[in-house]
Structure 1
Amino acid sequence: MGVKTWMGVAAGALMAAWALPATTAHAADCAGLTGLTLPEARILSADIVPAGPYKAPDGTVTFPDLPAFCRVVALAETNVKVEMWLPQAGWNGRLQGVGNGGFAGAVSYYTMGPALQAGFAVAGTDTGHGPAEGKPGTRLDWMHDPVQLANWGHNSIHRMTVAAKAIIRARYGTGATRAYFEGCSTGGAQAMAEAEYFPDDYDGIHAGAPGMNYTRLMMSFLWSSRATLLDPASTLPPEKLTLLHQAVLAACDAADGVKDGVVEDPRACHFDPAALQCAPGTDTAACLTPPQVTAVQALYAGPRNPRTGEAIYPGLARGSEWGWDLQQGKLLEAYVIPLFQNMVYDDLTWRWQGFDFDHDVALTDGKVGPIITAVTPDLSAFHARGGKLIMSQGWADQLNAQTYPIEYYHAVAGTKDPAQARVRLGDYFRLFMAPGMGHCFGGPGPNHFDAVTALRTWVEQGKAPDRLVAAKHADDRDPTSPVLRTRPLCPYPTVAHWTGTGSTDEAANFTCR
């Protein structure tokens, strides 16, 4: 969720078509934007949406109450679709870009509403291609087009951002004073592509659960599927996953002094699934068979080269077992097979069972890694221009290997010592690990928090975030539902500790140390 040289070549041939005459910035009413051609974008439509309930154009989400806004649809360079929601009144003078999920192919409307309500002019994109979901054995044409592939991999958010800033100038007669970006999963990878390759686009960036090492992430999904599906006896049914997760909590939940159904730092949890192994010749919901124990150990360990033993990608953390059903075929079908069949091998008959975790790793990294990953640890340009980066990762993420952001953080710092890393990166890069949080939201722990406001305070007031307060709602999909618990997320390497007094469901009673 890459290398600019390749993308520049891929997109360069189309750039000339967008080298249109410059226009002078002037304030325009919403309807007056329709048909306007800017050097950075061609506006297809612009319409006023009145205040009140609003259903997203694709029907994915209904917002109960939005302020009046100007909805702009435009095409940026290389036909990247951009949608902007511009406040009719009360604009805070800032741009917020929002990221996508999965293979994208559609605007992420559900993330645009909250940004608009906060006063931002907000921009989203389809990343340059239409509906992207495919089934095994289905050709995804955009994966075979160098420009569209490069847009999805790295370029589309930059295209969107350049266009969005121009549209803001055309609408309001002035540019945005600051720009912020927030994305999770693929959106987190987009966030890192911006920080690494387009450091001038945004003043503050939040990269949530970043799928930034996309090739290796796909290999981890493949590894989990092989461990649990090649031999049907290894598959972990829901009742076994519940058994395993409860056993992990019983062993490690209270280690931080608070028994709350969450493992605060899974690195300190060393639960051995062999403790659940069934007696010889038995198989009940209260134990794991030997093949199931082996499968669990493989998921904890993560993919490894069978010849050298070298780790290919981190394994899944203890405490994330509640969501491992996704790791047993669902992620394989939705992402791994379409990507490898189309992008890597160009062979719709390719079968996942034959992947070679020795030879095929280098093949995949070499062929598509430079196009779809964003893993360079050199953030010097982003740092030099005053950019601020918040990265967040749920410890109970059921998709991503939870420790990969920690590895990347240390790579940027150039040291494996956590205290030294924090000193070196503290003025521009902070990592927040969220105990019990799933992939982007949900999970047994608090998982709603406001990183963009923390970024604004950091960028505009110089106050670095020393904690983010996360909330656990009765319904994780509805942030207006009752709050059951709050907890501070602490900047790595610090961890939340209960003071020993007051409710353990209130963030105020915890310190970061």
Structure 2
Amino acid sequence: MRVMTWMGAAAGALLVWAANAPAALAATPSVDCASLAGRSLPEARVLSAEPVAAGPYKAPDGTVTFPDLPAFCRVVAMAETDVKVEVWLPEAGWNGRFQGVGNGGFAGNFSYYAMGPALRAGYAVAGTDTGHGPAEGKPGTRLDWMHDPTQLANWGHNSIHRMTVAAKAIVAARYGTPAAKAYFEGCSTGGAQAMTEAEYFPGDYDGIHAGAPGMNYTRLMMSFLWSSRATLLDPASTLSAEKLTLLHQAALNACDAADGVKDGLIENPQACRFDPGVLQCKPDATDTTACLTAPQVAAVRALYAGPRNPRTGEAIYPGLVPGSEWGWDLQQGKLLEAYVIPLFQNMVYDNLSWRWQDFDFDRDVTLTDEKVGATITAVSPDLSAFKARGGKLIISQGWADQLNAQTYPIQYYQAVAGTSDPAQARARLGGYFRLFMAPGMGHCYGGPGPNRFDAVTALRAWVEQGKAPDRLVAAKHEKDLDPTSAVLRTRPLCPYPAVAHWTGKGSSDEAANFTCW
């Protein structure tokens, strides 16, 4: 559940705005970088401060090397309740704004790969370890931070707020003036952190981008568990890579062309009527390589349906949609090992011998929610305080996400609006909250569709110029992790419930030839 920042192609109108925006807000440091070391601010204790020269820079943990960062002051500080913070402050060309970046998974490390692009864009940028060290666990391993109420609360709700308060104080100390505006961007766990900020700490940020938010963390873990049980309890139900390819192609065959363009993407999976039963092997089949066995069809249907209470039939969490099958190998044990088992063994049951096969989707759902739900979820539909202070929120979600149930952000959007009627929801929320669904986009990045876009620039135009985003332009690069690689396709992402439609003129690989309606 890695977080990724989007610094790809933005909408043409936003680029025009950015090019013509006033140069005001830029400021130069008022104190020497090294002089910050050892300072105790009301909100933070500075551990170190060192100048970093312009040029190539290897992140302190070695996870990423940037070929060309501008000169900056790297500050390491300790915020309240021992939340470690890093703040990177441009030596020149600061744009007068602060950006916080989110984490992935169980966190425990810094999202340097997101901090670098933000620094390059002129922001003073901060990240955090959320209060504990490297946290990826293995089944049967005690994760001490999950047993510490303060550290668990930091990871679940508080660390980004503590980071933000501390970082803003450091920015003001460095430049002699506070940041004029503040923005936050995170995906996956970082998307959940973004929603925590909007719900619990609405005064921290002017604009927030929550990507693929794992905001209902307990139920998300249950969805991983449900998928693993559907495909692993009976080995005959397991879906091989070849079977997943077969399934994904069948879904595309059924629904790809519904938007008028056959491009390997399902633009609106909610309108897709695909029955995996069409792939079921004939009763007398001896070669099942080109079909799905009856247990495999049942498993696929279970993944599409999502977890349900076996006694009442009540939905526990949404299922996965057609078009996301390409990445379902993760749903068959990998997410279980990396997240579900460590979380339930440590947070819920305090029992390292707990077995995932024993989870009861009737009794244990309530138990889990009562034990840790209030600490690690951010699902309140009350955004009134964020709205009242003028905050702007963008949620984005990939339709081909191989982890998150793609329709959960839609359910949340409707809950905030208090209606499922599209026109009413747009009228109630359009002034401060917009949801963008990305066809073919995987979890935070990657996938068969365009998956790089610049939500922060859109937020700036919305917050500072009052220009609400009517589209975000996403790009598909030759190499998904390299925004300098060739652009293969661009596509507009439309504010939900609008969908992109090809005009019928020009290339269907160019966003300019699509309209949102």
Matching of residue 167 in structure 1 with residue 170 in structure 2: yes
Q: Distance in 2 between matches of 1:347 and 1:84?
A: 38
Give runs of aligned pairs for residues 311-350 of structure 1, distance below 5 A. 311-350=315-354
CA distance in structure 1 between the aligned counterparts of 2:304 and 2:472, rounded to whole angstroms: 28
* Correspondence for 2:484 among 461, 480, 484: 480
Match of 2:307, SS state, is coil
Give the match's secondary structure for 1:31.
Answer: helix
Equivalent in the alignment of 1:176: 179
- Equivalent residue, structure 1, for 2:507: 503
Q: 1:49 aligns with which of 40, 47, 52?
A: 52
Q: Which residue of 1 aligns with 2:26?
A: none
1:153-205 deviations in Å (ceiling 9; x for gaps):
00000000000000001101000000000000000000000000000000000
Instruction: Give the alignment's TM-score, normalised by structure 1.
Output: 0.95
Match of 1:225 in 2: 228
1:70-128 C-alpha deviation (Å, 9 max, x unpaired): 00000000010000110000000000000000000001100001100100000000000
- Counterpart position of 1:137: 140
Contact 1:125–1:156, Cα closer than 8 Å, also in 2: yes
**Counterpart-to-counterpart distance in 1, 2:232 and 2:480:** 30
Partner of 1:9: none
Measure the CA separation in 1 of the matches of 2:46 and 2:412. 39
Pairing of 1:260-271 with structure 2 (within 5 A): 260-271=263-274
Q: Secondary structure at the match of 2:183?
A: strand
1:183-332 pair list within 5 angstroms: 183-280=186-283, 281-332=285-336
Q: Which consecutive residues of structure 1, in runs of 5 or more, have no partner in the other structure?
A: 2-25
Deviation at 1:455, TM superposition (A): 0.1
Instruction: Please give the alpha-carbon distance, in whole angstroms, between the structure 1 residues aligned to 2:286 and 2:156.
Output: 48
What letter matches 1:333 in structure 2? E
Matched letter for residue 469 of structure 1? V
- Paired AA for residue 461 in structure 1: Q
State the partner residue of 1:427.
431
2:404 to 384, 387, 400: 400
Cα displacement string for residues 415-434 of structure 1 (whole angstroms, at most 9, x for unaligned residues): 11011000000000000000
Between the aligned partners of 1:285 and 1:166, the Cα distance in structure 2 is 61
User: CA offset at residue 284 of structure 1?
Assistant: 2.3
Q: Is the 8 A contact 1:394 1:439 kept in 2?
A: yes
| Amino acid of the structure 2 residue aligned with 1:381 | A
Who is 1:27 aligned against?
30
Asked if the contact 1:228–1:236 (Cα under 8 Å) also holds between the matched residues in 2, the reply is yes
Distance in 1 between the 2:139 and 2:368 partners? 18
Alpha-carbon deviation of 1:270?
1.2
Counting aligned pairs with the same residue, the percent is 85
Task: Please name the residue that 2:24 is paired with.
Answer: none
Stretches of structure 2 lacking an aligned partner (at least 5 in a row): 2-28
The secondary structure found in structure 2 opposite 1:410 is helix
CA displacement, residues 26-66 of structure 1 (integer Å, 9 cap, x when unaligned): 93210000101101000000011100011100000011100
2:101 is aligned with 1:98: yes
1:83 aligned partner, one-letter code: E
Task: Tell me the amino acid that sits aligned with residue 286 of structure 1.
Answer: A
Q: Secondary structure at the match of 1:166?
A: helix
Structure 1 letter corresponding to 2:414: H
Structure 2: distance between partners of 1:128 and 1:28: 28
Partner of 1:74: helix, strand, or coil? strand
For the Cα contact (< 8 Å) 1:243–1:285, is it kept in 2? no
Alpha-carbon distance between aligned partners in 1 of 2:499 and 2:163, rounded to the nearest angstrom = 37
Which of 1 and 2 has higher RCO (CA within 8 Å, sep 6+)?
2
Partner of 2:21: none
TM-score for both structures, normalised by structure 2? 0.94
Partner deviation per Cα, 1:436-465 (whole Å, 9 max, x = no partner): 000000000000000000000000000000
Alignment of 1:416-495 (within 5 A): 416-495=420-499
2-structure distance, mates of 1:273, 1:509: 33
Shift of 1:233: 0.3
Alignment partners' CA distance in 1, 2:185 and 2:351: 35
| Residue 87 (structure 1) aligns with | 90
Q: SS of 1:508's equivalent?
A: helix
Displacement after TM superposition at 1:282 (Å): 3.0
Q: Counterpart of 2:301 in structure 1: which amino acid?
A: Q
Distance 1:141 1:283, change over 3 A: farther
1:279: Cα distance to partner?
Answer: 1.6
Q: CA RMSD in A?
A: 0.8
Letter matched to residue 233 of structure 2: L
Preserved contact between residue 27 and residue 169 of structure 1 (Cα < 8 Å) = no
Following the alignment from structure 1 to structure 2, what is the Cα–Cα distance between the partners of residues 259 and 473? Answer: 19
Separation in structure 1 between the aligned mates of residue 490 and residue 134 of structure 2, nearest angstrom: 37
Distance in 2, matches of 1:53 and 1:28, equals 25
Give the C-alpha shift of residue 355 in structure 1. Answer: 0.2
1:283 deviates by 4.4
Partners in 2 of 1:284 and 1:225 — Cα distance?
Answer: 22
Kept in 2: contact 1:263–1:436 (CA 8 A) = yes
- Residues 310-331 of structure 1 show CA distances to partners (whole Å, capped at 9, x for unaligned) of 0000000100000000000000
The answer for the alignment partner of 2:61 in structure 1 is 58
> Matches of 1:265 and 1:286 in 2, distance apart?
27
Q: Are the aligned partners of 1:45 and 1:74 in contact in 2 as well (CA < 8 Å)?
A: yes
Per-residue Cα deviation, 1:318-367 (whole angstroms, up to 9, x for no partner): 00000000000000000000000000000000000000000000000011
Q: Match for 2:263: what amino acid?
A: D
Deviation string for 1:369-418 (max 9, x for gaps)?
00000000000000000000000000000000000000000000001101
- Which of 127, 131, 139 is the aligned partner of 1:128? 131
Q: Which one-letter code corresponds to 1:443 in the other structure?
A: G
Distance 1:282 1:135 in 2: 40
SS at match of 1:484: strand
Contact 1:33–1:45 (CA<8 Å) still a contact in 2?
yes
